[in-house]
Structure 1
Amino acid sequence: MRDCYLKKNIDFQRVYKKRNITGNRNITAFYKKNNLDNKRLGFTITKKVGNAVTRNRLKRQFKDIYYNNFNLLKDGYDYVFVIKKSCLDLSYKELEASFGHICRKLNKVIK
C-alpha cells in the first residue's frame, strides 16, 4: 500500500495535540509532521453526523477519494480529517471537490 492510515487513538491524539488546523465548510483538517517518508491519515466522523451505516458510508467514500487523489497531500505528515454533518447532503463529486480544496489549503500552509 502506498500510504498508511492512522488507526490507534494515541496517534489521533498526537495530531490533535499539535493544534495545527485548517478547514472549510465540510471538513476540518489537523496535521502534524511525522518524521517518516510517507504520509498517514485518518478520518473522524462524530455520532452527530448520523447512524453507523451513514458514517461508515461517508468514511468509505472519503477513503476512495483519498486513494484516487493521494498525491495531493505532502509526504512526511500525519493528517486527521474531521468530517462535518454538511457532508451528508453532498454528492460524491462535491465531496471530492471539498477534499481537493482542503488539500490545496494544506499545501499552502505546509511549506
Structure 2
Amino acid sequence: MGKIHSLKKSVEFQRVYRRRRSLGNKYLVMYLAENKTADLRLGISVSKKVGNSVVRHRLARLIRESFRLNMDAFRTGYDIIFVARPSAKGQGYTEIESAMLNLCRMHGILSLEESK
C-alpha cells in the first residue's frame, strides 16, 4: 500500500467533472477520468447540505479510509472523485465502503482479483 495522492486544486476537480463519466448510488456519486499517469488520485467532496463540519469531516475520513484499505484492488491511471450524498449522513464504515466498491465495480476499475 502506498500513499494516497489527492486532487486538491479546483482545476483538477473541474477536469474530472467535465468528463461527465459518473455513476451514483444511495450514498455516493463517483466521477472518473483517466489521468495518463501511473497514479491513482482521489478527491472527496462533501457539501454543507450533508451536515455540519463534524459530520462532513467524518464522512470524508470514512471515504478516505475505505479507499486506502482497498486501493490495491484498483487499476491505476485514474482520477476519482467521490461526492457524498445527504443520505450518507450517519452511516457507518461498512455501508460507505460497500457503496464505494459497488461504484468502482460499475465503473470497471477494480482489478480482476477483487471483482471475482
CA distance in 1, matches of 2:87, 2:59: 11
1:55 maps onto 2:56 in alignment: yes
Paired with 2:107 and 2:73, the residues of 1 have a C-alpha distance of 9
Aligned length: 108
Task: Note the C-alpha offset of 1:72.
Answer: 3.2
Letter in 2 for 1:16: Y
**Alpha-carbon distance in structure 1 between the residues aligned to 2:108 and 2:67:** 15
> Are 1:36 and 2:33 an aligned pair?
no
Query: Following the alignment from structure 1 to structure 2, what is the Cα–Cα distance between the partners of residues 97 and 13?
Result: 26
Structure 1: 4+ residue segments shifted above 4 A: none
> 2:54 and 2:70 mapped to 1: Cα distance?
24
Shift in Å, 1:61: 1.2
Give the share of equivalent positions with the same residue, in percent: 34
In structure 2, C-alpha distance between the alignment counterparts of 1:89 and 1:52, rounded to whole Å: 13
Contact 1:3–1:38 (CA<8 Å) still a contact in 2?
Answer: no
Moved more, 47-56 or 65-74: 65-74
Structure 2 match to 1:8: 9
Structure 1: gaps of 5 or more residues = none
Partner residue, 2:91? 90
In structure 1, what residue type is equivalent to 2:36?
N
Work out whether residues 73 and 107 of structure 1, in 8 Å CA contact, stay in contact via their aligned partners in 2: no
Deviation at 1:55, TM superposition (A): 0.3
Partner residue in 1 for 2:100 = 99
> Normalising by structure 2, what TM-score?
0.86
Deviation of 1:36 after TM superposition, in Å, equals 0.4
Structure 2, unaligned runs of 5 or more: 110-116
1:51-96 deviations in Å (ceiling 9; x for gaps)? 1111011101111111111123221111111110111132211111
